[in-house]
C-alpha cells in the first residue's frame, strides 16, 4: 500500500530558485493538504484542497502555490525560494467520507534547505 507519496525526500536550493514538491495519494481521498514543520513550532498549514480544481490558503501560504488537477496529485510550488522556506514539508490526505473528523494520512516528508 503506497498511501501518500512525497518526492523528493531531500532538496537543496539556492535563493531565488524555484521547485515543485510532488505529492500523490492512491487512497481516493478528496481532501489533501500541505504542512511545514519548523523547530520549536507545531505543524503549520500552507495550502489545502477539498477536491480536484479547488484549493485554498492555510495559515502560512506566502511564497507557495498549489494546484489540484486530479484527485491523486497535489503539488506544492516554491516560486522563488528564500532561506525562510528551509523546513520539512509534509503532505497529508483525509479519508473520503470522513472529511470532517477523519484522520490525516501523512507522507514521509520532504526536507528542503534554501541557501
- Shortest distance, CB of residue 51 to other proteins, whole angstroms? 10
Report if residue 61 touches other proteins, rule: CB under 8 A.
no
**Contact pattern for other proteins over residues 8 through 47, marking x by CB under 8 A:** -----------------------x-x-x----xxxxxx--
- Shortest distance, CB of residue 45 to other proteins, whole angstroms? 4
- CB-based burial label for 6 (10 Å; 0-12, 13-18, 19+): buried
Look at the block and give the residue holding cell 512525497: 6
Long-range contacts of 38-45 (CB under 8 A, 24+ apart): 38/87, 38/88, 43/90
Nearest to other proteins of 4, 78 (CB atom): 4
C-alpha–C-alpha distance, residues 60 and 115, integer Å: 20
Report if residue 50 touches other proteins, rule: CB under 8 A.
yes
Whether the bond into 70 is cis, omega within 30 of 0: no
C-alpha–C-alpha distance, residues 4 and 84, integer Å: 26
- Shortest distance, CB of residue 48 to other proteins, whole angstroms? 5
Nearest to other proteins of 15, 99 (CB atom): 99
C-alpha cell at 28: 481516493
Binding site for other proteins (CB under 8 A): 4, 31, 33, 35, 40-45, 48, 50, 56, 58-59, 90, 94, 99-109
Amino acid at each position: 500500500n503506497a498511501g501518500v507519496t512525497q518526492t523528493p525526500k531531500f532538496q537543496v536550493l539556492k535563493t531565488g530558485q524555484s521547485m515543485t514538491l510532488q505529492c500523490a495519494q492512491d487512497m481516493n481521498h478528496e481532501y489533501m493538504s500541505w504542512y511545514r514543520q519548523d523547530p520549536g513550532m507545531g505543524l503549520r498549514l500552507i495550502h489545502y484542497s477539498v477536491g480536484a480544481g479547488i484549493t485554498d490558503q492555510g495559515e502560512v501560504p506566502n511564497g507557495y502555490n498549489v494546484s489540484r488537477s486530479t484527485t491523486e496529485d497535489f503539488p506544492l510550488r516554491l516560486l522563488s525560494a528564500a532561506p525562510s522556506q528551509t523546513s520539512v514539508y509534509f503532505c497529508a490526505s483525509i479519508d473520503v467520507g470522513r472529511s470532517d473528523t477523519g484522520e490525516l494520512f501523512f507522507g514521509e516528508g520532504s526536507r528542503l534547505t534554501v541557501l
